[in-house]
Structure 1
Amino acid sequence: MSRSVLVTGGNRGIGLAVARRLSADGDRVAVTCRSGEPPSGLLAVNCDVLDATAVDEAFDKVEAEQGPVEVLVANAGITRDTLLIRMSEQDFTSVIDTNLTGTYRVVKRAARHLMRAQAGRVVIISSTAALSGVAGQVNYGASKAGLIGLARSLAREFAPRGVTVNVVAPGLTDTAMSTALADGQRERIVGQIPLGRMADPEEVAAAVRFLASTEASYITGAVVPVDGGMGMGH
């Protein structure tokens, strides 16, 4: 059955790959965009997850177009990479507010319908930076680790209502975020990956698709790394 899906930050990279994969399966898929071009073939709504009112308005638009959200993929996020000694408080708080508090806002808004319906899926996009740590990403790693704690607490809250909450933790993925790295930095990271390459966004999307499916109905509170083995053991 076609479901109403919302992917935050779904106009590029991993979010867009997830949105297109779920749309190809027959779901009605909307994406939120803060900047950049809206993707063709998908319902796009402007939304800054820093603004609770904007989140509420985005959900109102999605609900009017395709019905209450039954599957939420919380993907919107930013980086402000630098070593701690150079990191301003604004660098730190902006990443926490977008990646962690922004996810709190969208999940809280989606929960209104999910709890009443006693069914649904929430998939949160974290990172292997949350598991093994990355120098120069104190803010990003903290925000992505926070998402795991958020998701596992929500999994316990939502389980009595039949709603699952899971996490996908990608490693280095072939997106605009990775191409922004210096060549030497990217090569150094790839050299630490047992499979010896970056992930394709479609590989991350495949994990999200599974966790959002009926086949994953007995999985909740899980963290699924899609990282070529880089974070194994964490």
Structure 2
Amino acid sequence: MTAAAAAQRVLVTGGTKGIGRATALAFARAGARLLVSYGHDGEAAKALAAELEALGADFDTVQADLTTREGAETLARAVTGRFGEGGLDVLVNNLGVDGHTPFDALSDAEWRRVLDHNTTSVYLVTQSLLGALAEGASVVSIGASVALRGRPLGVHYTTSKAALVGFTRALAKELGPRGVRVNLVAPGVTETEPGAGLPPQLAAKLAGLTALGRLGRPEDVAGAVLYLAGASAAYVTGTTIEVDGGI
């Protein structure tokens, strides 16, 4: 991130764990002013706050259920209160959940849980924050590379992330006249914890399928987000960047 972008005003949703946490910390190290949202895990929020305080970051956290309109509006009020109307430079839609269920056993409740977190939240948050976006702002959502390939036992998850490709491309065209860029980062299997929480044999197998011979790290994804948020990506919009090690 350039020095001119160091004071960016940034919101990261679902920012207390995994990719969201790494992204929040990366922006903090670059000197951004931060607002980080979280859902229910207050302990994770406290742990992140301690890390940000140790960095001397300018930050705040807000709790909100972003799968609901009420939660999205709570977040919008927090953004306006912290950065002012039209004062948000970067929106990172990171909130998301995983799901592993055979299609013939997929329940309505599980379908809604995954779609609400991964897709509907992006719609609700982004729409609620349209007035808060500064001219030339950057919207970056976190998708998944499996959206472009499909994954067994994850039809609902794949669907929820694939929808973000179209969302990104279409919204980029609507917001382009304001100079607002909209992009998507699509990670592969990422080690949000050692082995990505996978059995060691499966983690090794997946790492072996990548061109680089390892699973992704949250910091790898955060680097792509910072690129899309910065001046170097000033002519990049409507695109999906895969961060999957060449799997």
Q: Give, in angstroms, the shift of residue 57 of structure 1.
A: 1.1
2:142 paired with 1:137:
no
* Matching residue of 1:86: 105
Unaligned regions of 5+ residues in structure 1, if any?
none
* Aligned partner of 2:210 among 187, 193, 217: 193
Q: Give, in angstroms, the shift of residue 206 of structure 1.
A: 0.6
* Aligned partner of 1:7 among 12, 19, 22: 12
Contact 1:173 1:200 in 2 (8 A): yes
Q: Give, in angstroms, the shift of residue 177 of structure 1.
A: 9.8
Unaligned regions of 5+ residues in structure 2, if any?
53-58
Q: How far apart in 2 are the matches of 1:177 and 1:193? A: 17
Q: How far apart in 1 are the matches of 2:9 and 2:159? A: 31
2:215 paired with 1:210:
no
Q: How far apart in 2 are the matches of 1:196 and 1:60? A: 44
Contact 1:76 1:98 in 2 (8 A): yes
Distance 1:50 1:153, change over 3 A: same
Question: SS state of the match for residue 235, structure 2?
Answer: coil
Question: SS state of the match for residue 119, structure 1?
Answer: strand
Contact 1:172 1:178 in 2 (8 A): no
Question: SS state of the match for residue 119, structure 2?
Answer: helix
Q: How far apart in 1 are the matches of 2:158 and 2:39? A: 22
* Matching residue of 1:52: 69
Moved over 6 A (4+): none
Q: How far apart in 1 are the matches of 2:76 and 2:27? A: 18
Distance 1:128 1:178, change over 3 A: farther
* Matching residue of 1:171: 188
Q: Give, in angstroms, the shift of residue 229 of structure 1.
A: 0.4
2:109 paired with 1:103:
no
Please tell me the root mean square deviation across aligned C-alpha atoms, in Å. 1.6
- Which residue type is aligned with residue 47 of structure 1? A
Q: How far apart in 2 are the matches of 1:176 and 1:34? A: 20
* Matching residue of 2:34: 29
Question: SS state of the match for residue 43, structure 1?
Answer: strand
- The count of aligned residue pairs is 228
Q: Give, in angstroms, the shift of residue 180 of structure 1.
A: 3.1
TM-score, normalised to structure 1, is: 0.92
Distance 1:73 1:178, change over 3 A: farther
Q: How far apart in 2 are the matches of 1:160 and 1:181? A: 44
Q: How far apart in 2 are the matches of 1:184 and 1:96? A: 30
Q: Give, in angstroms, the shift of residue 191 of structure 1.
A: 2.6
Distance 1:107 1:222, change over 3 A: same
* Matching residue of 1:75: 94
Residues 92-117 of structure 1, C-alpha deviation per residue, up to 9 Å, x if partnerless? 12111111011001111121132xx4
Question: SS state of the match for residue 118, structure 1?
Answer: strand
* Matching residue of 1:113: 132
Q: Give, in angstroms, the shift of residue 83 of structure 1.
A: 1.5
Contact 1:31 1:43 in 2 (8 A): yes
